[in-house]
A and B are shown apart, each in its own frame.
With several copies, the nearest count.
Chain A
């Protein structure tokens, strides 16, 4: 296991300690495994919480910051936080105007967040709502869209809902509506070349041959649609774009953004090589490409591979994407 760590059991807590020590002006940890904004919650602002397993930085905790999330609950690597931690995150994000739970569609996370929502509604009188990201197009067919896994679409949803919630007078219903529109606007697909090692398990999440790739693989190593010999970057980009456009075509005059994301080890250089082709394809399909994101926005530790998220913009979503935000991983001015 070629990882830099101390006790595998302490991986998450030491990581959080380090993160908060590095950016005390952005993050605070008011309770174990709960990250909130250092400046506290602005009264009257709708709170946005997210959460899920560790090992995906900047997802989830990294996106706590102005114009983004208010709090996060974070579990062990690739494991859900507890309902109690989620409830605490919601309490931290409570500014008296309600709290949106905005996260990815994974069974354990959903159960725990639902339970947490009921808890704080009962015990703390916090009104709340849920928007789930279910953007991975290969994880279920279009007729079962709600069963899909949530992946890179979170980045857009966090940004857009986060920007909306900063607006004076935005209430829970309108923030929830924007988050839902953002979630609905996203389509994602991934591909992987090498696995990562979950510290507590100590072994790779999957194995692929020396020269193999898997198209459609999920960020935790969930099976994709095909294993095959590693293909050239342009062909990889083409197939990923084909999958995204097959699920939701580009309409004439469409304005879109795209996230070309590294799962961790794939270098920025190679993301740009992919992006070069992606841009050609999207513009070739008649779309106007706006504010593309190319980098490590949602990772799986040291996994090699890439994901793409296509976000179909409307006027408000476009403006919200361009609005200011600030966290340790993303600053828009």
Chain B
């Protein structure tokens, strides 16, 4: 087994369903210190991906690009743009190939992390989705069994949340309220964790 256009196609509706389920919780979490649109962003973005999934080309690079386009079309909030950026990085990494090995997952995550860092001018430690990706990259390094990768991702996401919960936000809207952000989960990090449940069911 490997990561293919078909497997993306299969995952898309599950992620969209999960995004719908968590939308309200994510809006609320984002609304505590931000503009409360994260749930909408996730729902619209993943639904757009799911809608386009039927037409995903065989070329995995192009399939990832379709995912990016879908997010760009419907979302303009930071998280949507960052996800779209992550997909572009994956598209570049898999350009011209029909599949990636599971072993290459760590590389995909690291690539997305770096691209999103460049896009959002963020740094590790700012308490954002970047920190979740960093933890995930480390955790899946060297793994090639999808079930193990799945478990590692969840563990990494939980661990990042726990590690950063009491630290202040240094990026995004919440940074204006750095103090008040201590004790609150970063909404983007929380969203990452919640979305992984869709993989867990697979």
Contact = CB atoms under 8 A, between A and B. Distances in A.
B72 A82 contact: yes
Contacts of B69: 84
Interface string A82-102: 111100000000000000000
Given A85-B76, A107-B78, A115-B85, A79 B119 contact: no
Binding site secondary structure of chain B: helix
A104 interface: no
A108 B72 CA distance: 12
Given A79-B76, A82-B75, A111 B35 contact: no
Interface in B141-192: 171-173, 176
B120 A79 contact: no
Interface in B12-66: 35-37
Interface string A104-131: 0001101110110001000000000000
A108 B176 contact: no
B128 to A, nearest CB: 11
A195 interface: no
A110 B77 CA distance: 11
A108 B78 contact: yes
A81 B85 contact: no
A100 to B, nearest CB: 20
B52 to A, nearest CB: 13
Given A79-B37, A111-B120, A114-B119, A84 B77 contact: no
B129 interface: no
B74 interface: yes
B178 to A, nearest CB: 11
B37 A223 contact: no
A82 B73 contact: yes
B146 to A, nearest CB: 30
B62 to A, nearest CB: 13
A119 B75 CA distance: 16
Nearest to B74: A82
A235 interface: no
Contacts of B35: 78-79, 201
B72 A80 contact: no
A119 B69 CA distance: 10
Contacts, number: 53
Contact of B119 (A75, A115, A119): A115
A83 B68 CA distance: 11
A83 B78 contact: no
B78 A111 contact: yes
A222 interface: yes
A83 B72 contact: yes
B133 interface: no
B71 to A, nearest CB: 9
B82 interface: yes
Contact of B81 (A76, A78, A85, A111): A111
A79 B84 contact: no
Q: Among the interface residues B35, B78, B81, B120, which one has the most CB atoms of the partner chain A within 10 A? A: B81
Listed residue (A78, A81, A201) with the most chain B CB atoms within 10 angstroms of its CB: A201
A83 B176 contact: no
Contacts of A115: 72, 81, 84-85, 119
Contacts of A222: 176
Contacts of A78: 35
Contacts of B36: 201
Contacts of B172: 107
B76 A75 contact: yes
Contacts of B73: 82, 84
Nearest to A218: B176
B84 A108 contact: no
A234 B1 CA distance: 58
B76 A112 contact: yes
B37 A111 contact: no
Interface of A: 75-76, 78-85, 107-108, 110-112, 114-115, 119, 201, 222-223
13 contacts: A80-B77, A83-B84, A85-B76, A107-B120, A107-B172, A108-B76, A108-B77, A111-B81, A112-B81, A114-B119, A115-B85, A119-B72, A222-B176
Given A111-B85, A115-B84, 16 more contacts: A80-B76, A82-B75, A83-B76, A83-B81, A84-B72, A84-B73, A85-B76, A107-B173, A108-B76, A108-B81, A110-B121, A111-B119, A112-B76, A115-B81, A119-B72, A201-B35
Interface of B: 35-37, 69, 72-78, 80-82, 84-85, 119-121, 171-173, 176
Q: Which 8 A-B pairs have the closest CB atoms?
A: A82-B76, A80-B76, A111-B81, A83-B72, A84-B72, A108-B78, A84-B73, A111-B119
